[in-house]
Amino acid sequence: MELSEPTVRARAREYAEREPLYGVERQHVETVPRAFAGDEYGRRDAQWVVRWYFRRYLGEYPDRERREREEAFRSNAFDDVVDAIDAAVQTAGAAESDPTDGDADAALDALTALAGVDVAVASAFLQFLAPSRFVAVDRRTWAVLAAAGELDGEYPDPPSTGDYRQFDDACRAVMDRAGVDAWTLYRALWRSFEGIPEESP
């Protein structure tokens, strides 16, 4: 598998045509960065990101684990959620304006202090906070990068901050080579998973 510019762009278009959540995802890509940066959001807006991470599998993600994680996130005091998102917004905003600023560690640390949020779910927040810069890590996106020779090894379950740094470096290399942003790359990686031997999410 090769993640060339034509392949990435074609898979991203295919995602827009075939994935049932694309419409609502596109809306959130456009609205979440402004809403979270301006504190114009409520508890449900933050919960949406957590729900999205698991529910985009359209029932393939183990239901019990999904419910447990969503319930754990709902148990956080909203002030703590706001503080974590504020810290993440600072990192995401810096990375969005300067793509060479790739250090997401501070944002991941703040977000993973919340119940129900590990590095993978935290990366979903980064994807919606800075959709031109960050890609959410998961078994599918990792597997495609590995199949393309951009990453070594199988998906670390769960990924650590260091694993995400490695994943992010691989994403940035493909984005630079293909001339696309992170939201385009995410869609391409998700659709490119077709044909790779699938494991449980």
Residues 6+ positions from 85 with CB-CB distance below 8 Å: 36, 46, 111, 125, 129
Task: Give percent above pLDDT 90 in the chain.
Answer: 82
Q: What is the 3-state secondary structure (H, E, C) of the chain?
A: CCCCHHHHHHHHHHHHHHCCCHHHHHHHHHHHHHHHHCCCCCHHHHHHHHHHHHHCCCCCCCHHHHHHHHHHHHCCCHHHHHHHHHHHHHHHHHHHHCCCCCCCHHHHHHHHCCCCCCHHHHHHHHHHHCCCCCCCCCHHHHHHHHHCCCCCCCCCCCCCHHHHHHHHHHHHHHHHHHCCCHHHHHHHHHHHCCCCCCCCC
| pLDDT value, residue 194 | 80
Alpha-carbon distance 81 to 122, whole Å? 12
Q: Which residue in this structure is represented by tokens 């995400």?
A: 164
Does residue 201 surpass a pLDDT of 70?
A: no
Alpha-carbon distance 145 to 164, whole Å? 13
Residue closest to 119 by CA, chosen among 88, 144, 145: 88
Overall average pLDDT of the 139-157 stretch: 95
Overall average pLDDT of the 29-35 stretch: 94
Tell me what the pLDDT averaged over the chain comes to. Answer: 92
What is this structure's pTM? Answer: 0.92
Question: Over the stretch 54-99, which tens digit does the pLDDT of each residue have?
Answer: 999 998 888 999 999 999 999 999 999 999 999 999 888 666 656 5
| pLDDT value, residue 54 | 96
Does residue 197 surpass a pLDDT of 60?
A: no
Please give the structure tokens belonging to residue 133. Answer: 């810069």
